[in-house]
């Protein structure tokens, strides 16, 4: 179970919560828990399933056995070079020998 600490809660708010808790026959902690649970009803909860594959994984699996011809690789590299010449920020060459050394200090 998770824990939550509320800092800088005004004394008047704490006293009103204690009064509300007493009316409902609960402790202050139990009352705060009920309030939070009711406030969270209907909120979307992201679902992360470890067994689900992401888009990148699916694309990799679909195309991992499809290779580029030498001409396609040259055309791709020319396209990247053209993009890099037009932008202030360039697409890194991950296959360059100096890539890891040049970028490892960031």
**What is the torsion angle, in degrees rounded to the nearest 10, for the CA atoms of residue 70, residue 74, residue 75 and residue 76?**
100
Same domain, 59 and 97: yes
Residue at 99 is within a domain: yes
Counting the structural domains of the chain, the total is 2
User: What is the pLDDT tens value at each position of the chain, 106 positions in all?
Assistant: 889 899 999 999 999 999 999 999 999 999 999 999 999 888 877 766 667 778 888 888 888 888 778 888 888 888 888 887 777 766 677 777 765 554 444 4
Residue 48: per-residue pLDDT: 67
Same domain, 67 and 99: yes
Residue 106: per-residue pLDDT: 47
24 contact partners, CB below 8 Å, separation of at least 6:
31, 34
Residue at 25 is within a domain: yes
Residue 55: per-residue pLDDT: 82
Q: Domain of 35?
A: 11-40
């Amino acid at each position: 179970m998770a824990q939550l600490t509320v800092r800088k809660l005004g004394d008047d708010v704490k006293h009103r919560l204690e009064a509300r808790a007493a009316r409902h026959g609960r402790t202050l902690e139990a009352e705060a828990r009920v309030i939070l649970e009711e406030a969270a009803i209907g909120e979307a909860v992201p679902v992360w399933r470890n067994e689900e594959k992401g888009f990148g994984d699916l694309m990799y699996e679909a195309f991992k056995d499809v290779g580029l011809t030498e001409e396609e690789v040259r055309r791709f590299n020319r396209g990247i070079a053209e993009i890099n010449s037009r932008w202030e920020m360039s697409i890194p060459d991950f296959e360059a020998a100096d890539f890891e050394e040049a970028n490892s200090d960031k």
